[in-house]
Chain A
Amino acid sequence: MEAVLANLREWYQDRKQRLDLWDETQTARQDNPMYILGGLVWLSWMIVIVSGIVLMLWYIPTTTGAYRSIEHITYDIPFGWAVRGLHKYGGDMLITCITLRIYRMYFAGEYKKPGELTWMILFSALVLAMISGVTGYTLEWNQRAFWAAKVILTVPTYYDDIPLIGNLGLGHAIAYIFLGGPALGQGTLTRFYSIHFGISIVLAIVAETWFYRTRRRRLNVSAFVIVLVLAFLAFVSFINLPDLGQWANNNRTPLPVLSDWYFLALYQVVKYMPPLWAGVAPALLIGYGMLVPFLDRTKETLPTRRPFFFVVGLLALIYWIGFSALIMLNIAVISRDPPYIWGITVIVLFAALLWELAYRRRQAQRAAAAAAAPAGASRPAPRPAAS
Chain B
Amino acid sequence: MKLDRRGVLKALTAIPVVGALIAVLSPLFRFLKPNDKPWGIFTITPDLPQGGAQVVGKVSQLAKPWDSFYFTYVQKFVQYTPEGQEASNVPGVAIRLPKKVKFVNSEGFVGFEGETDIVLFSRICPHLGCIYNYVSDWHEVSAGYGGFRPPGFEEHALMACPCHFSIYDPEYPDNPGNVISGPAPRGARYFRFEVHGDDIVVTGAEVGAIAKCAPGAVAGAAAPPRET
Contacts and interface: CB of A to CB of B under 8 A. Distances in A.
Given A254-B162, A334-B181, A154 B211 contact: no
Contact of A334 (B80, B129, B133, B165): B165
Interface stretch (B108-116, B142-150, B191-199): B142-150
B210 A179 contact: yes
Contacts of A190: 81
B207 to A, nearest CB: 9
A182 B78 contact: yes
Given A180-B81, A186-B79, A274-B183, A253 B210 contact: no
A332 to B, nearest CB: 7
B38 interface: no
Interface stretch (B10-18, B42-50, B96-104): B42-50
B80 A180 contact: yes
Interface string A267-296: 000111111101000000000000000000
Given A172-B212, A181-B78, A183-B211, A253 B161 contact: yes
Name B's interface SS: loop
Interface string B128-169: 111111000000000011111000000000000111110000
B182 interface: yes
Interface stretch (B19-27, B55-63, B85-93, B170-178): B85-93
B163 to A, nearest CB: 6
Interface string A172-185: 11011101111111
Given A151-B163, A182-B49, A250-B88, A275 B128 contact: yes
A150 B211 CA distance: 12
Contacts of A133: none
Given A179-B210, A255-B162, A274 B44 contact: no
A204 B33 CA distance: 28
B147 A333 contact: yes
Interface stretch (A94-102, A163-171, A302-310, A366-374): A163-171
B129 A177 contact: no
Given A151-B128, A251-B91, A183 B210 contact: yes
Contacts of A28: none
A257 interface: yes
B210 A182 contact: yes
B47 A151 contact: no
A167 B44 CA distance: 7
Nearest to B49: A182
Contacts of B80: 180-181, 187
Interface residues of B, number: 46
B189 interface: no
Interface string B26-56: 0000001100000001111011010000000
Contacts of A187: 79-81, 86
Contact of B164 (A168, A170, A270): A270
Contacts, number: 150
A157 interface: yes
B182 A270 contact: no
Most buried by A among B42, B43, B147: B147
A335 B165 CA distance: 10
Interface residues of A, number: 51
B210 A168 contact: no
Contacts of B33: 173, 176-177
B165 A183 contact: no
A271 B165 CA distance: 7
Interface in A356-382: none
B185 interface: yes
Contact of B1 (A1, A184, A270): A1
A321 to B, nearest CB: 20
B42 A170 contact: yes
Nearest to A180: B80
Contacts of A276: 185
Given A176-B46, A270-B183, A334-B146, A183 B77 contact: yes
12 contacts: A151-B163, A172-B44, A177-B33, A180-B80, A181-B47, A181-B78, A182-B78, A185-B79, A251-B89, A332-B146, A333-B146, A334-B146
Given A168-B42, A182-B211, A253-B131, 7 more contacts: A1-B1, A151-B128, A154-B209, A185-B81, A250-B131, A275-B184, A334-B181
